[in-house]
């Protein structure tokens, strides 16, 4: 969790507080940072996009805008308060939200052109994270693309201490280096890693 304490199984219940904290943490750079994720994912008009662990739907809405005209985005999150907030603030005919978990997606095989996710991978319980990546592979069409962005812990001792004290050990020790090999293990190819903003580690890959 970057901001907002998760409850059982990594689910965040305080949707409005999370939204405010998200704005504070990105310090005026939320639009730019999330816009960069949409660009890195290569979302184009007509694409069908899935946002996993969408929270209040900020990235989902930007993806829906990039997929217009003709495309759409759906955000999935197990937190009903998050999905409710996302629907109220960002829902529309081409930007929809559903309660669901990454490790058990409801969509049929090959539904999406693009899957994106921000700051959510570390919330998926470790014991089902591999299953979640298999699910991402399953719901993408052949040639479909995935972009997973998650919190990259700082290297400095003081910064690490601060992250641990404010956000917990899960974020301080977040093993983002495991995402790329796990995507390869799920069957993805062309796996590449990059940074976005000061604390996001991005992994992109393609379903052959
Ligand atoms: C830190 S928030 C990120 C929200 C949003 N993507 C953003 O960048 O602002 C992490 C989200 O992951 C969700 N989450 C927790 N467990 C999950 C799971 N198994 N599958 C999908 N999402 C999950 C939480 O409910 C929470 O809304």
Residue-wise pLDDT for 96-139, tens only, equals 999 999 999 999 999 999 999 999 999 999 999 999 999 999 99
Q: Work out which ligand 1 atom sits closest to the CA atom of 53.
A: 22
- The pLDDT, as a whole number, for residue 28 is 83
Q: How far apart are CA 194 and CA 28, in angstroms?
A: 22
Sequence spans of domains, the chain:
8-206
* 46 CA from centroid of ligand 1 (Å): 25
Q: Which residue has the higher pLDDT, 28 or 10?
A: 28
Share of the chain above pLDDT 90, in %: 77
* 51 CA from centroid of ligand 1 (Å): 10
Q: Which of 77, 104, 130, 150 to mutate to test the pocket of ligand 1 (most atoms within 8 A of CB)?
A: 77
Average model confidence (pLDDT) across the chain: 93
Q: Which residue has the higher pLDDT, 87 or 16?
A: 87
Does the domain made of 8-206 have the CATH classification 3.40.50.150? yes
Residue bearing the CA closest to ligand 1, atom 9: 55
Residue 71: is its pLDDT beyond 80?
yes
- The pLDDT, as a whole number, for residue 24 is 83
- The pLDDT, as a whole number, for residue 138 is 98
Q: Work out which ligand 1 atom sits closest to the CA atom of 15.
A: 27
Q: Work out which ligand 1 atom sits closest to the CA atom of 34.
A: 8
Q: Which of 10, 52, 89, 125 to mutate to test the pocket of ligand 1 (most atoms within 8 A of CB)?
A: 10
* 37 CA from centroid of ligand 1 (Å): 16
- The pLDDT, as a whole number, for residue 198 is 79
Q: Which of 55, 58, 121 to mutate to test the pocket of ligand 1 (most atoms within 8 A of CB)?
A: 55
Reported as a pLDDT band with limits 50, 70 and 90, residue 145 is very high
Residues 36-52, mean pLDDT to the nearest whole number = 98
Residue 78: is its pLDDT beyond 70?
yes
Residues 145-174, mean pLDDT to the nearest whole number = 91
- The pLDDT, as a whole number, for residue 2 is 44
Contact at 8 Å (CB) between 130 and 14? no
Residue 1: is its pLDDT beyond 50?
no
Share of the chain above pLDDT 70, in %: 96
């Amino acid at each position: 969790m970057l901001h907002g304490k998760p409850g059982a199984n990594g689910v965040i219940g305080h949707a409005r507080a999370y939204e405010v904290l998200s704005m504070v943490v990105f310090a005026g750079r939320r639009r730019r940072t999330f816009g960069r994720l949409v660009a890195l994912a290569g979302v184009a008009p007509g694409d069908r996009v899935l946002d996993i662990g969408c929270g209040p739907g900020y990235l989902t809405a930007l993806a829906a805008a990039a997929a217009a005209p003709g495309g759409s985005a759906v955000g999935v999150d197990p937190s009903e308060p998050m999905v409710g907030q996302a629907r109220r603030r960002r829902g529309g005919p081409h930007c929809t939200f559903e309660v669901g978990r990454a490790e058990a997606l409801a969509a049929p095989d090959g539904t999406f052109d693009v899957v994106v996710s921000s700051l959510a991978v570390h919330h998926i319980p470790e014991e089902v994270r591999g299953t979640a990546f298999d699910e991402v592979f399953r719901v993408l069409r052949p040639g479909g693309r995935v972009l997973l962005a998650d919190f990259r812990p700082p290297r400095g001792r003081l910064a690490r201490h601060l992250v641990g004290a404010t956000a917990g050990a899960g974020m301080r020790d977040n093993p983002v280096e495991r995402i790329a090999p796990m995507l390869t293990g799920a069957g993805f190819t062309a796996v590449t890693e990059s940074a976005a903003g000061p604390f996001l580690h991005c992994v992109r890959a393609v379903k052959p």
